[in-house]
Chains A and B, each alone.
Chain A
Amino acid sequence: MDKVVTIEEAIARHVRDGMTIAMGTGLESCIPFAAGHEIVRQGRRDLTLVGPVSDILFDQLIGAGCVARVIAAWVGNVGAGIAYSFRRAVEDGVPRPLAVEDHSNFTLALALEAAARGVPYLPSRTALGSDLVRGHPRLREVTCPFTGARLLAVAALRPDVTVLHVQRCDREGNAHLWGNLGVSLEAARAAGTVILTCEELVDDDVIRSDPNRTLIPGFLVGAVAVVPAGSHPSPTQGYVNRDDRFYDEYHEETRSRDGFLRWLDRLVLGTRDHQEYLARIGEDRIRRLRPREPRPAAPVSYGV
């Protein structure tokens, strides 16, 4: 089935107010910023965002007033530290109060993995002795029924939608991914449906030429949108490097609420789509983020 739509259609069709959305599951790589910006433009509200380390994408959606709750291990600006919209929401309720379900990277990974496996929880030995567990809705100390050992039970977390940015996929959403994956595969298998944004839409012969590299099967996917550089300013291995300077500029510009609103107007609300966003960033700047030279992997033979 052909699932290719525009990013506007993908968000309009699959992301509704009040939903639980996993994004930035690649951690600091392949963050679907273009999809996040479209969620802001379409004015979604009361979302629960899920992602271990969201970098500044969550900060932007929080500042834009789209978010009621985050389920995360770390919310900030990886290059610069603190993220100001997140702080303003938690400390002062601006632009609206924000609930935070705190995790470690491993507990969040296990919560998604439990949902991916279709079980209510997974046992682990992490976070024991940490205050993260205290009063937590999804973490509970339990006794192993076989050994009597003290364990941490991590309850399943099932996002309504997981949004991933990938290198290439076919029209059905069978996707090749490489580089740092974070918890993207776990989040995709855990979700009700998956929206893919891709650098390249390829013929299914390309996918079938290297099926071990297919990490997302098309049957998980509800929509495919072609959005080159859709992860900017985060990197997509082999296509676009990390725009380190962007994070520092964001940090400075969003220090005050007014500064954030100006930033949001200039790059998100004041742009019609991702192409216009990229034009505002500047063609030259994007070109400089392209890898300087290709570094292909050694080919493998599937010959019979």
Chain B
Amino acid sequence: MSYTASELLAVSASRLLADGKIVFAGVGTPLLAASLARLTHAPHLTIVVEGGAIGLEAEPGRLPISTNEMRAGRRAVMLPSITQIFLYAQRGYFDYGFLGGAQIDPYGNINTSVIGPAERPRVRLPGSGGACDIACHCREIVIVTRHERRRFVERLDFVTSPGQVGAGDGRRRAGLLFGRVTAVVTDLALMDFDPATGRMRVVALQPGADLAQVREQTGFELAAAAEPDRLPAPSEQELALVRALDPARTFLG
């Protein structure tokens, strides 16, 4: 059964979401993953988007391009202001937060602001949007991204969204009350963070990927067990459902 990297990402991310929880999802892969989870193992998963919709049920084939338009509000139970959405987040109501990023460091911190010095950037990226707030206020933060060496870097040019912040209790020291980055999902591997060093490490490999390849595509020292686990390939049912969600392949590429 063949599948693309983006299909693999959506399926792998969906499997991390438990039924009955609340997920703070952005458009693209996160919303595909959350919608897929609702169609498979998590029918009572509540999807929240930062544009201001709670409990939306996106229509297959008409997934929103932004988190803040009528496609994102479809069958929502509530359309609050974004201030209210983030105040709910700050109170700790949201179980999962999905994030991507242009640059990710070994502690799961993310840069989506600038490449090069902040005062005179070589590339000016769009900025935080709600990413920094999602990173600060969700209980479990899941980073979903393609695995590329230019993304996984030892030092960020700018920390837009705090991950673990640093070794040990970095988040608590910074003043964040709860939350941690629980998983980094890529098309090559599933990673988490070593409690002793605070650094990212390989938990399991995607089908077909090997450890040398993961390290080749990572710009920092990445710990791993001698024999990492192997993630199961997407099932036929998962692939059929995720493709039906995005038949025009707007997000699946």
List residues of chain A with CB under 8 Å of any chain B CB.
Answer: 26-29, 52-53, 55, 72-76, 78-79, 81-83, 86-87, 90-91, 100, 102-107, 109-110, 113, 124-132, 141, 149-152, 178-186, 234-235, 237, 241-242, 244
Contacts and interface: CB of A to CB of B under 8 A. Distances in A.
Contact of B127 (A27, A72, A126): A72
A79 B65 CA distance: 6
Contact of A126 (B71, B133, B160): B133
9 contacts: A26-B68, A73-B129, A74-B126, A76-B126, A106-B133, A125-B176, A129-B136, A180-B70, A185-B81
A132 B175 CA distance: 15
Interface size class of B (residues with CB under 8 A): 35 or more
Contact of B68 (A90, A128, A180): A180
Contact of A105 (B79, B113, B128): B128
Nearest to A78: B66
Contacts, number: 182
Contacts of B177: 125
B66 A126 contact: no
Contacts of B130: 73, 104-106
Given A28-B67, A55-B66, A125-B136, 12 more contacts: A29-B51, A74-B127, A79-B66, A105-B86, A113-B83, A125-B175, A127-B133, A130-B136, A130-B162, A150-B175, A182-B52, A235-B69
Contacts of B69: 28-29, 179-180, 234-235, 242
B68 A126 contact: no
Contact of B65 (A78, A104, A129): A78
B127 A73 contact: yes
Contacts of B129: 52-53, 73-74, 104-105
B107 to A, nearest CB: 10
For the complex of A and B, the 7 pairs showing the least CB-CB separation, nearest first, are A129-B174, A76-B126, A129-B162, A150-B175, A74-B129, A104-B132, A28-B66
Interface in B123-177: 123-133, 135-137, 158-162, 165, 170-171, 174-177
A130 B161 contact: yes
Contact of B81 (A73, A126, A182): A182
B118 A131 contact: yes
Contacts of B137: 125-126
A181 B135 CA distance: 23
B239 interface: no
A104 B79 contact: no
Contacts of A244: 65
Interface in B66-103: 66-73, 79-83, 86, 89-90
B174 A128 contact: yes
A234 B66 CA distance: 11
Contact of B175 (A104, A129, A131): A129
A180 B79 contact: yes
A83 B126 contact: yes
A72 B51 CA distance: 15
B175 A149 contact: yes
B136 A183 contact: no
Nearest to A109: B83
A124 B161 CA distance: 16
Contacts of A178: 79
A55 B126 CA distance: 10
Interface string B42-55: 00000000111100
Contacts of A106: 82-83, 86, 89-90, 130, 132-133
Contact of A235 (B70, B89, B136): B70
Given A105-B82, A106-B86, A129-B176, A75 B133 contact: no
A130 B86 contact: no
B128 A128 contact: no
A297 to B, nearest CB: 11
A184 to B, nearest CB: 8
Nearest to B127: A74
- Which of the listed residues B73, B118, B127, B174 has the most CB atoms from chain A within 10 Å of its own CB? B127
- Which of the listed residues A29, A86, A149, A237 has the most CB atoms from chain B within 10 Å of its own CB? A29
A132 B82 contact: no
B121 interface: yes
Interface string B196-238: 0000000000000000000000000000000000000000000
Contacts of B165: 129
